[in-house]
C-alpha cells in the first residue's frame, strides 16, 4: 500500500484561531492520555492485590498456611 504525501496547503490556509483550537485540543488529548495511564496503573495495582488475596486464600484453604 502506498501513501501519498499530505497536502499541507490546506493546513496553512486555516485561520490562526482554528490552528490554536487544534493545538488546544491536542493538549487536552495528551492530558487525558496521561490521566488514563494513571488510572490504568491504579487498576492494575488493585487487580494485583486481589490476585494475591485469592492466592493466599487458596493456600489457607489447602492448609498450607495458618491464620
Reading the block at residue 61, the C-alpha cell is: 484453604
Identify whether the C-beta of residue 59 lies closer than 8 Å to the C-beta of residue 65.
Answer: yes
Sketch the domain layout of the chain as residue ranges: 17-61
Each residue's pLDDT tens digit, 21-60: 888 889 999 999 999 999 999 999 999 999 999 999 999 9
Helices (H), ranges, 1-67:
9-12, 16-61
pTM flag (> 0.95): no
pLDDT of residue 3: 60
Identify whether the C-beta of residue 25 lies closer than 8 Å to the C-beta of residue 19.
Answer: no
Amino acid at each position: 500500500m502506498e501513501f501519498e504525501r499530505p497536502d499541507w496547503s490546506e493546513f496553512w490556509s486555516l485561520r490562526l484561531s482554528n490552528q490554536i483550537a487544534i493545538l488546544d485540543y491536542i493538549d487536552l488529548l495528551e492530558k487525558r492520555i496521561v490521566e488514563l495511564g494513571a488510572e490504568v496503573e491504579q487498576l492494575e495495582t488493585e487487580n494485583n492485590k486481589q490476585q494475591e488475596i485469592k492466592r493466599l486464600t487458596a493456600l489457607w484453604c489447602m492448609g498450607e498456611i495458618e491464620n
